[in-house]
Chain A
Amino acid sequence: EPEVTQTPSHQVTQMGQEVILRCVPISNHLYFYWYRQILGQKVEFLVSFYNNEISEKSEIFDDQFSVERPDGSNFTLKIRSTKLEDSAMYFCASNTPGGTRSFYEQYFGPGTRLTVT
């Protein structure tokens, strides 16, 4: 079965540095999402992306965050100037109409653990 992949699995960065988290959604999927989970807390929505633009973003997704689909296969989340509180697990997800599963079922990637020191 196709899978969403994410790289790297773990990223350590210093406060103030820029990081790019990469996701490869399932190839025919059209809707993409980033979620994050701070240690010990629940998973939270960051942003959704469709037709090469942001369709929705949460209040967490401020100006330091950006997303891009640079080449038709990767879907990236950039954090411009990392803060300690950005330390979290970041999950990418995707879905699409007309797939083998229900349109509404999101496929999740394994996550990238970001540690900001």
Chain B
Amino acid sequence: KNEVEQSPQNLTAQEGEFITINCSYSVGISALHWLQQHPGGGIVSLFMLSSGKKKHGRLIATINIQEKHSSLHITASHPRDSAVYICAVPNYGGSQGNLIFGKGTKLSVKP
């Protein structure tokens, strides 16, 4: 079974700052998810990546499969980015199947 660790657990930033959230996992995978959870509780999928880097607007996700590590970066952070960011990976490695989730990183961006 896979284990997922995220850091930091809580992060407070000033508007405009560059944010980095880290995720590491124990069992080799081919795909990793970054999810966003807003205070209302709903989950939105931000990225699924299997290698290298993906960019969507101000969000950038990178993954190093060999080192079992991924990072989510937010450039020019804004108060509307305040949310919990969650990393999730397939429980038994590979790409498919049920996901195991990190505890999440609670980001608060102050104006």
User: What residues of chain A have their CB less than 8 Å away from a CB belonging to chain B?
Assistant: 31, 33, 35, 37, 41-45, 48, 56, 58, 89, 91, 101-108, 110-111, 113
**Chain B residues engaging chain A, CB cutoff 8 angstroms:** 30-31, 33, 35, 41-45, 48, 50, 86, 88, 90-91, 95-104
Rank and list the top 5 A-B pairs by shortest CB-CB distance, nearest first.
Answer: A105-B48, A45-B98, A43-B101, A110-B42, A104-B95
B44-A43 in contact (CB<8A) = no
A-B contacts, CB under 8 A, total: 61
* B99 in contact with A111 (CB, 8 Å): no
Evaluate whether A105 and B33 lie within 8 angstroms (CB atoms) in the complex, with A42-B103, A111-B41, A113-B41 already known: yes
Identity of the chain B residue whose Cβ is nearest the Cβ of A34 in the assembled complex: B98
Q: Which residues of A contact B35 (CB under 8 A)?
A: 108
User: Which listed residue (A31, A43, A107) contacts B88, Cβ 8 A?
Assistant: A43
